[in-house]
Structure 1
Amino acid sequence: MSSKPSATNSTAAFDPGEFLATLTEAPGVYRMLDAGGAVLYVGKAKNLRRRVASYFQKTGQSPRIALMLQQVATVETTATRSEAEALILENTLIKKLAPKYNILFRDDKSYPYICLSGEEFPRLAFHRGAFDRKSRYFGPFPNGYAVRESIQLLQKTFLLRTCENAVFAHRSRPCLMHQIQRCKAPCVGLISATDYAADVRMAELFLRGRHGEVVEKLTAAMETAAAALRFEEAAAMRDQVRALQAVLHRQYVSSTRGEDVDVLAVACVHGELCVNLAMVRGGLHLGDRAFFPRGEAGATPAEALAAFIGQHYAAHPPPARLIVGADCLEAIAEEGAWTGEGKPLATAAARNEMERAWLAMAENNARLAIETRRRSKSRAGARLDALTEALGLAEPPARIECFDISHTMGEGTVASCVVCVDGAMKKSDYRRFNIAGIEPGDDYAAMRQALTRRYEKVASGEAAAPDLILIDGGKGQHGVAREVLGELGLAFLPSVGVAKGEERKPGAETLFRDTRPNEPLQLSPDHPGFHLIQEIRDEAHRFAIAGHRARRAKDRGRSKLEDVAGIGPVRRRKLLAQFGGLAGVMGATIEDLCRVDGISRKLAEEIHQQLHSS
């Protein structure tokens, strides 16, 4: 790959003819810059000279492109070995530079997956984030609801475990999930590894879209069990088949084949664009998700859809086919549709009545998403205006940050910081702080540490300052917040303490303002601004509790038995089952331990010494 800068510079008038004469015909990426050196637009081309020339030779350019060309002072190019390489480089630069005139979509890497873990008895789990090589992942799914619905079906049908490994390793008797027939209790040996693996294979086939094969195998096994007079086993398989058939009959409304396709539609209402992505996996419609472009207004719907396809499938695995509207195919072909590995995407119009129904549904959902967003913005604006007036702020707070502390009698203390931007929660900006080095249960010290760690970065210019700070706590916690802000030179930032009402009754909260610390404020329960404060405070509380529970579980999850050499999962389960839990094991004598199958005298002495060493 080679880089070729333009023959122009930002201090001279741009001469397209002179520049194009020196431009290569190789594939690559071009960057249009203004006189100040800011990148206006990034694009890719199969032929750099032909593509860049088209901007200056075409008539009737869209208003967006025409306005951009008036500001171009220089063009830089980078030649690549192939158009696929150009696509990858283009998307990298778009994400890094966020050019003003590109149609930008949020780089959403948070699609949920179903995970089958890599242990002897694999766990069925909801997953987001990086992949582990030992586990198997199925998806992506458009939203968390689709994942949870699928997990519930698989639990009900194949009875796979969903418990955390720390819980699984230390069970001494079956849990509630076994009692309600949602798990076969591998934790206490009620199913062999071989039989459990067979259930895992059937679940994996189902997740890969091979539904018919799963039903056929279960039906055959049911008939075999019935012929052998194993009627309870046959009845269990009959229930499995019925559960699967019910889902297949409910969702197989559009396709009789186990297809994997994405349906992409775009809508424009009142000048606002939305791309709707619907996912069909194994012939089942899993739901959809709406995406809104960021960037210069004036893009056509077809341009927005082409930009979305280029950015989305460079980062996410594509299905076998993409279904799009026929009116968008030309724009998509002009941009080129490639995967992140440089393979062409199979993009086509709907080819039958079923696919046209999918597309029409996606288009309607795109329009509904725009309307919902407009109403949400209007409601958020009204709540911000009401809050501004109630608190006596100079202008509506564009960014609100709220802090809360969570712990259990001083254990696992975690502080949360949630962020609300323009009246809507912005989860990508949320932060948690593991609190350490304080007296357990000292909420004031915990709040001081969290605020100091957060606003040191604001004071040094590393992070943007909020327009309003909410502190979940009374006058004391708010006083600590004002002290920290003063010490950091940020006393000009407005803040409010939110104290819970009598008996922690919602709607009876008292507000403490930094401008009038001795004049508590109570807003009416139906005040729009008060509703916004409650929503942000409740989200901070939820986020703090989730972080605290995770930290507490991590601290508590490791058993002393795991540190004993020679004690693996099988022996550990036998010990726990024999003595009714860890407390029973700790109370056992060396002679008691020796009576457990597989525990020698020497190992019993090591276990006893390890458990009583501290």
Structure 2
Amino acid sequence: MFNPETTVPFDSAQFLRHCSRRPGVYRMYGADDSILYVGKARDLQARLNSYFQKNVSSVKTRALVQRIARIATTVTADDTEALLLEQALIKELRPPYNILLRDDKSYPYIRISTEQAFPRVSFHRGKRRSGTRYFGPYPSAGSVREGLATVEKVFRLRNCPDSYFNNRTRPCLQYQIKRCTGPCVGLVSEADYRSQVSLAIDFLEGRDTAVSQQLEQRMLDAAQAQDFERAAELRDQLAAIRQVQQKQYVDTQRGDADVLAVASAPGVVVVELLMVRQGRVLGHQSYFPRYRGEETEQDVLEAFLAQYYLNDLGDQALPAEVLLDRQVEVADTLADALKQSRGRRVRFASAVRGERAGWLRMAQANANQSLAAHLATQSNLDQRFAALGELLKSTPPQRIECFDISHTGGENAVASCVVFGPEGAIKGDYRRFNVSPPQAGDDYAALAEAVTRRYERVTREGKALPELLLIDGGKGQVRAVHDALALLTLPDGMRVLGISKGPSRKAGLEVLHPVQGAPLIPGADHPGLHLLQQVRDEAHRFAITGHRARRGKTRSSSSLEGIPGIGPRRRQQLLRHFGGLAQLRDASREAIAAVPGISDVLATSIYEWLHD
């Protein structure tokens, strides 16, 4: 959370190192925590990195960057959601560095002038009138123009102004490039044109099955006739249709809800509150309760619910429901208490589907991102490194390397090595090792092989050695690593330390194992232990992802062939529906679930497979 008393300048390099690469919205704040700018990005890290380049030519951007004290990000499921959320935040916050539109120009529409003999399809903002059909709202002008281009390509409706239409004597360029049927000079009858208008309206209202099937069939016919250029054009048209028609659960117009998710790391926990009003996501807020590390995430969530809704809500209107990322025992009791104190019963739910499940996924993603950003703050890291030095009775280590082993029944074992310094994770120095101990499942031998390979190369290349070598394990693992290092010619100064969970295996009760001397039990609230837990957990994560990747190499190289439940027919159906693999990768879970024969569970499997 932002502290207005902090005077430390904004560290863009530190922030960008831990920024998500997913789509989302970012908000820039000044020193007094006032909003400066709200923006959107398909790749948050890449977009925000562009602000801090030395060769930025925009005077406005340079002035904005000089005022930044902090940046907050909201991760979304896709870039279309980011567009909608950005518009909602700009309308609410009215940041001084944004281009602000009047309230009645927030969202654009597609307009079809059905009152005319030959209706025109056009872009529209502002007041709407009766007798004309409007479709939208759309998240941006660009998406409307994309939809207009699709309608023109598929249905060949006119887009010219009436003054132009009424004075033509020969077809214009739109007719020549097959984007209009030439009603201005009588090249199409009113009845045939009206038929196309009716199809376009059905398409824009979502009744597009017949249109899609027709395009798919024409694409197949063109491919069979080896007219590949025409087949590619039809594929692009089909992809454009899918992009415009993807279901956006962020704008469902289906009620009010608060969505809560919890994420924790050693010594810190975050409760993420996502607010949905009238079916539209308005924004989110991160709360960091005081946390010793001994409570469960469910305990934290239950305490937060009682304090927030019974004490801190103030005059804010209660939502109709509160969606939770896990079940809590206090839900019914709290609902009764709210009924008595506020005169309204609120529904608490955790097992939800459809757009509500999408909101929960968004809250969970933002909780994880807020937690990562909090852990990456320099003040937090400085405190933890200093506490670790006190714990080890030495100067704080400037470089920590940690090893962990991951395998399944001893097969496809992978050793991970992660590196941390006073500025956080040094991901460019991370390494993985495919290890093959003499006996499958022998973690001691696997660790010995990994550290030997690691530090033989490090010394050969003259690279930096760690002051602290952390091993995920107990006395046996520490001894195996120490014996392996003794066979190498290494300079003095490297300290080996094991970290294992205590007898109860409860977080916060870890035991530290030096090579010699008695074990250490720092306690759940020790910042030095929190740092070691953070490093250990990162090594564990890195080992697991490496193991999964190694195990996954036995699967087919096709991006779709290895998905359980997806055979040749469904693969072909998916590729036809979206017009190609690239378009399928860009689709949201909800868009994939809209394909006939694809359930919500299978859509989630496909989405996660393509984005793993």
TM-score (norm 1): 0.37
TM-score (norm 2): 0.37
